[in-house]
Amino acid sequence: MDVHPEESPPQKERKLITDPGIERGVAKLTPEKIEKTINAVLKAEGGARFKTYLETCVHCGLCSDSCHFFISHDRDPLFGPAAKLKQTIWEMVKKGGRVDEDFLRRAVEIAHSECNLCRRCSMYCPFGIDMAYMIMMVRRIVHKLGLTPQNMQDTAHSHSATYNQMWVKEDEWIDALQWQEDEAREEFPGLRIPIEKEGADIFYSVIAPEPKFRAQLIYQAAAIMHTAGVNWTMPATPGWDNSDICMFTGDSEMMGRLKKVHFETAMRLKVKRIVMGECGHAFRSVYDVGNRWLGYKMPPIPVTHAVEFYHELFEQGKIKVKSKYKKPVTFQDPCNISRGRGLHEMAREVVRATCETFIEMEPNREHNYCCSAGGGVINCGPIYKVKRVEGNRIKADQLKAVKEKGAQVVIAPCHNCHGGIEDILHGYGIEMGIKFLGDIIYEVMEKPGQE
């Protein structure tokens, strides 16, 4: 598709989703505020990288077929990655920030519900243009204008008030850990979830939905740590939640505060490294984005994702398999740890070590399709759900194909992948189960004192 900066792609009639948060924000805008805000962001934050990307794109369209939204919408040109930039940030630059409210409504919906920031398109761009960075510039601008989707902004408000995305209070957090320790000690009498243990080898961090909705994952992590004989701890104070929806809203200031308290909690406890639970976006925020906003080239304390940690435990013989998982499985590659960190081969080694039958999706590894929930898109809330599921028909086709080959369970080491794939399975009537890697490891590993 040949789209030039001076030309807009043809606009098709498309009904926008009415989001109350966006509408309240729009009601407060003036032409002067819009122009001033856009130009302030472009001037302060649109440096050499932004200018290079803007001027390098030759509008060849090679990125289009990489995008699950484009493929799933019957190759509608408006869903091509370059076209999304043309409809948003390029137009803002071209018009010097003088855009109207209807333009901004459309720009918000494109940036928040038609791009998962998965960076698959960047792999196929002949110049390696980071489309996700460009879309994040749009999100940054609309955040500054007060136009973030309401559900997503509510989550960001929870982060700002409690340093976790689920408004878990400090006593509730400690209660959740003690509850899981009590539960686990019935199976593992000597097990402890060490809280505030100074000098431990590992600070284990999770995302807030775990104590809120999936406490069994903390149980399983404790069981794995106990079985492997790991010297670990979890904090009693804010800083335990490694998630970061503010990174996806464009609220870089709050993102920086979240990462600062996370790193400082680990440093206060004098641990050797942070090991994160199975979450892709949190890993991106700690390892790649939030740390750099704070001025660190790399995190100030080593960070290890759960996949890498599990691989290490198996490699060192600290976890042994009693009996492999019987049901045939396939594997979803989370964007932020496969394309973003290259952990796809380690993940497969763990899957093969724990499962009898492994059937690959096609394509796979760094070429796998996004779950369509990452990038903050699932956090936009229920009113966007149907659009999100329809926007990833290609993932449904991919899952149907691997199911036909015999796969019964999808292993996805990421919370957003779980949410996205569950919605796709239900939306397209595909009967498959979904598990975390930790679910599988806990089920198949040899456990102390058990025959």
Collect all residues with Cβ–Cβ distance below 8 Å to 299 and sequence separation of at least 6. 263, 274, 286, 287, 291
- Stated pTM of the model: 0.94
Dist CA 225 CA 181 (whole Å): 12
Backbone phi, then psi, for 407, in 5-degree steps? -65, 135
Q: Once rounded to an integer, what is the mean pLDDT over residues 252-281?
A: 97
Q: How many CB atoms lie within 10 A of CB 429?
A: 8
The β-bridge partners of 445 are 321
Q: What is the CA radius of gyration of the chain?
A: 22
Tokens of 191: 């097990």
Backbone phi, then psi, for 275, in 5-degree steps? -110, 125
Q: Is residue 128 part of a domain?
A: yes
Q: Where are the beta strands (DSSP E) in 157-241?
A: 202-205, 232-233
Q: Is residue 12 part of a domain?
A: no
Look at residues 148, 164, 184 and tell me which one is the last residue of a structural domain: 148
Report pLDDT digits (tens) over 135-156.
999 999 999 999 999 999 999 9
The H or E element spanning position 331 is strand 329-331
Residue 2 banded pLDDT, cuts 50, 70, 90: very low
Q: Is residue 15 part of a domain?
A: no
What length is written for the chain?
Answer: 451
Dist CA 233 CA 202 (whole Å): 6
Strand, coil or helix: 342: coil
Q: Is residue 26 part of a domain?
A: yes
Dist CA 262 CA 264 (whole Å): 6
Report pLDDT digits (tens) over 386-417.
999 999 999 999 999 999 999 999 999 999 99
Residue-level pLDDT at 12: 55
CATH of the domain at 379: 3.40.50
The answer to whether residues 36 and 140 belong to one domain is yes
**Contact in structure between 275 and 202 (CB atoms under 8 Å):** yes
Residue-level pLDDT at 8: 46
The answer to whether residues 170 and 266 belong to one domain is yes
Query: Is 166's pLDDT higher than 50?
Result: yes
Strands of the sheet containing 329-331, edge to edge, are 329-331, 409-411, 433-435
Domain that holds residue 287: 153-304
Dist CA 222 CA 191 (whole Å): 8
Residue-level pLDDT at 165: 95
The answer to whether residues 271 and 203 belong to one domain is yes
Dist CA 118 CA 422 (whole Å): 18
Residue-level pLDDT at 3: 39
The answer to whether residues 26 and 116 belong to one domain is yes
Distances (CA, A) of 365 to 37, 249, 331, 350, 356: 40, 27, 9, 14, 20
Dist CA 210 CA 195 (whole Å): 17
Residue-level pLDDT at 5: 43
Domain total of the chain: 3
Residue-level pLDDT at 451: 60
Look at residues 148, 170, 194 and tell me which one is the last residue of a structural domain: 148
Look at residues 148, 172, 206 and tell me which one is the last residue of a structural domain: 148
Report pLDDT digits (tens) over 104-121.
999 999 999 999 999 999
Q: Is residue 11 part of a domain?
A: no
Q: Where are the alpha helices (DSSP H) in 327-436?
A: 335-338, 344-354, 385-390, 393-404, 415-427
Q: How many CB atoms lie within 10 A of CB 405?
A: 12
The answer to whether residues 421 and 332 belong to one domain is yes
Report pLDDT digits (tens) over 176-206.
999 999 999 999 999 999 999 999 999 999 9
Q: What is the DSSP letter of 347?
A: H
Q: Is residue 332 part of a domain?
A: yes
Dist CA 414 CA 436 (whole Å): 7
Q: Is residue 451 part of a domain?
A: no
The answer to whether residues 62 and 102 belong to one domain is yes
Q: Is residue 10 part of a domain?
A: no
Query: Is 13's pLDDT higher than 70?
Result: no
Report pLDDT digits (tens) over 269-326.
999 999 999 999 999 999 999 999 999 999 999 999 999 999 999 999 999 999 999 9
The answer to whether residues 177 and 286 belong to one domain is yes
Report pLDDT digits (tens) over 339-396.
999 999 999 999 999 999 999 999 999 999 999 999 999 999 999 999 999 999 999 9
The β-bridge partners of 434 are 410
Report pLDDT digits (tens) over 46-95.
999 999 999 999 888 899 999 999 999 999 999 999 999 999 999 999 99
Q: What angle do CA 15, 18, 21 make, to 5 degrees?
A: 150
